Structure 1
Amino acid sequence: MAGIDPAQLKWRVVAPTLAALGLGGDAAVNLLTGTALVESGGVWLAQLGGGPALGLWQMEPATHDDIWRTFLPDDRFAEIETRVRRMTCSDLPRMQQLVGNLRYACAMARLKYYRAPDALPAANDAASLSAMHKRVYNTQLGAADPTTNIAAFRRAIAA
């Protein structure tokens, strides 16, 4: 299957986006690169089967809206909110930008993880990165298999 090259996604989108957001580092970069590989294969911009998830990180509208409604308005995160706003385009609703604005979609996926109390795993621990993806991003209700998805996180680490 064709798609975005994982190394280009990692070094041309994920790493600079997370650095601009102030939430970077090797573990975060590998986690977000692996998340895109698991969620969309680096290919799909809308959830297969007609589901609501959008973009390479397959964020659901309810999750997107909850971040804007309950997390970013908190004064403790004002600088992060400013940085996320700078990644948006003024001519499209933010929800639609999950599809075509890779920086914004990546930043929103990073915030989903950032809100969780879990510390990031070691940058080179594919199994722990995959487990964190399942626990925090995909959740108990999601279809992700943390054992099967270790391979995607290994690709992210190697990229």
Structure 2
Amino acid sequence: MGGIDPGDLKWRIVAPALDRLGLGGPAAVNLLTGTALVESRAARLVQGGGGPALGLWQMEPATHDALWRMMGGDPAHADLETRVRRMTCSDIPRVRQMIGNLRYGCAMARVKYRFDPEALPDEKNPDALCAYWKRVYNTALGAGAVDAVHVAAFATAIAA
């Protein structure tokens, strides 16, 4: 099963979305491109098997809503909240926009990483990017692993 070409994903969706957020750069672009590749193979818009995760970045609605509460609850995040809000449309609930609004789905995934206090890993290290994804995004409870398959997806993101 195919998906979005990794180069198109990286340069036509991820990089511009992160640039508009003010949270771009090579490490972030590779991390978010790799995240879409490991979470959905850049192909699934809803989680297989009836799970709740939505969009290429497979974010669960509860996580989405928690991130909005975190942004809205702190004046230090007002600019970020405004930038993310500008990526939404008014006729679809925000959580549902993660399915088809790729800029917004990417932005929300980046917000998830933004709330982690550690610096992003080296942009050219697929092992480190994968480990960071697992710790911050997929978490200890997630089905993902730091293994050859997942590391290879981050290598693909770097090469794209």
TM-score normalised according to structure 2 size: 0.98
8 Å CA contact 2:10, 2:157 repeated in 1 = yes
Matches within 5 A, 1:143-158: 143-148=143-148, 149-158=150-159
Q: Distance in 1 between matches of 2:91 and 2:114?
A: 27
2:27 is paired with a residue whose SS is helix
| Contact 2:34/2:154, CA 8 A, preserved across alignment | yes
The question of whether the paired residues in 2 share the 8 Å contact of 1:72 and 1:80 is answered with: no
CA deviations over 1:70-90 (Å, ceiling 9, x no partner): 234310011111110100000
Q: TM-score, normalised by structure 1?
A: 0.98
Aligned residues: 159
SS at match of 2:67: helix
- What RMSD in Å do the two structures reach over aligned CA positions? 0.7
Q: CA deviation at 1:145?
A: 1.3
1:40 is matched with which residue? 40
- The question of 1:91 aligning with 2:91 is answered yes
Code of the residue aligned with 1:137 in structure 2: it is: Y
CA distance in structure 2 between the partners assigned to 1:108 and 1:94 by the alignment = 10
With over 3 angstroms needed to count, the CA separation of the structure-2 counterparts of 1:83 and 1:142, relative to structure 1, is: same
Distance 1:136 1:110 in 2: 11
2:119 aligns with 119
Structure 2 gaps of 5+ residues are none
Post-superposition Cα deviations, 1:83-121, rounded to whole Å, max 9, x if no partner, equal: 101000000000100000000000000000000112100
Distance (whole Å) between structure 2 residues aligned to residue 141 and residue 109 of structure 1: 17
Pairwise CA distance, 1:147? 1.6
Distance 2:39 2:72 in 1: 24
Structure 2 counterpart of 1:8 = 8
Give, in whole Å, the separation in 1 of the partners of 2:117 and 2:80.
Answer: 17
